[in-house]
Amino acid sequence: MIRAPKTFLILAISAVALAACTAPDGSPRPKTTNGAIIGGLLGGIIAADRGGDRKADNVILGAALGAAVGGLIGQELDRQEQALRASLNNGQVGIVNTGNELIVTLPEAITFETGSAVVRSSLRADLHALSANLNDFPNTTVDIIGHTDNVGAAGFNQQLSAQRANSVFNIFSEGSVAHSRMRAFGRGEDEPIASNLSAEGRAQNRRVEIVIRPIR
C-alpha cells in the first residue's frame, strides 16, 4: 500500500479549502475564507484519523466536504452582516464579522442611562431591526452579554450587566425571536476591552455584546 506523504495531504487540504474562498471572478470572498479553511482542515484531520486503506482519498474528500460547509457558513455570515448594516441607522452600533460569528456591540451611551437597565427609546428601532435580521437568518444562536467598567461594587456591576442583557433579550422576544435560540447573561466588570484607567476606556467597557453564531 502506498501512503501519501503528510506534506501532500496538507497541501491537498489547503488547496481544496482555498478554492471555496474564491468568487467566480477570481477575487477572494470577504469573510468566507476563514470558514472554508477551518472547515477544510477539520474535515481533513477527521478523515485522516479514521485511517484505512484509502486514507489519502478520505483526507481529500473530508477536506472538500469540510471546506464546502465552512464556506457556506462564511457566505451566510457575509449576507447577514450586509443585511444588518443596511437595516441599522446608527453608526455607533459596532458590527464585527470574524468569519465564524457576528459581534454586535451596543455602547452604554446609546443604550442605557447611567446605572439604568431600561433601554433608551431612541435605540428601540435599531433593536427591532436587529430582531428582524435574526428572524431572517434563523439558523443561528444568539448570546446577549452585558458588560460594565470597574467603577463601584463588583456585585452591583454584575447585577446591572445581567439586567441590561435581559432588557435586550426582552426586546428581541417582543420581535418574535425564539427564546430557544437566545441566552442572556452578565459578565460585570470581568471582561474589559479597554483600560479602566481612563474615561474613554471605561466608556468602551460599558456595553452589551450580541454574539451571533451559525448552527453548524
What is the distance between the alpha carbons of residues 51 and 157, in angstroms, rounded to a whole number?
52
Angle 205-206-207 from CA coordinates, rounded to 5°: 100
Domain boundary among 74, 106, 126: 74
Mean pLDDT of the chain: 83
pLDDT at 116 over 80: yes
1 within domain boundaries: no
- Indicate whether 113 and 202 sit together in one domain: yes
What is the distance between the alpha carbons of residues 108 and 4, in angstroms, rounded to a whole number?
56
Can you spell out the DSSP letters for 154-187? Answer: HHHHHHHHHHHHHHHHHHHHHTT--GGGEEEEE-
Domain that holds residue 69: 6-74
Query: Which CATH number does the domain housing residue 140 bear?
Result: 3.30.1330.60
- Indicate whether 162 and 99 sit together in one domain: yes
pLDDT of residue 27: 46
Domain boundary among 74, 98, 130: 74
pLDDT of residue 38: 57
What is the distance between the alpha carbons of residues 132 and 97, in angstroms, rounded to a whole number?
18
- Indicate whether 64 and 118 sit together in one domain: no
187 within domain boundaries: yes
What's the rounded mean pLDDT across residues 17-27? 49
Which pLDDT tens digit goes with each residue over 178-216?
Answer: 999 999 999 999 999 999 999 999 999 999 999 999 998
pLDDT of residue 16: 47
What is the distance between the alpha carbons of residues 174 and 44, in angstroms, rounded to a whole number?
43
Cell numbers at 145, concatenated: 452579554
- Indicate whether 31 and 112 sit together in one domain: no
3-state secondary structure of 49: helix
3-state secondary structure of 53: coil
pLDDT of residue 25: 47
**Taking the model in full, what pTM does it have?**
0.72
Total of domains in the chain? 2
Count Cα neighbours of 214 within 13 Å in the Cβ-side half-sphere. 21
Between 37 and 85, residue with greater pLDDT:
85
Distances (CA, A) of 178 to 43, 101, 104, 134, 181: 31, 19, 18, 9, 6
- Indicate whether 172 and 122 sit together in one domain: yes
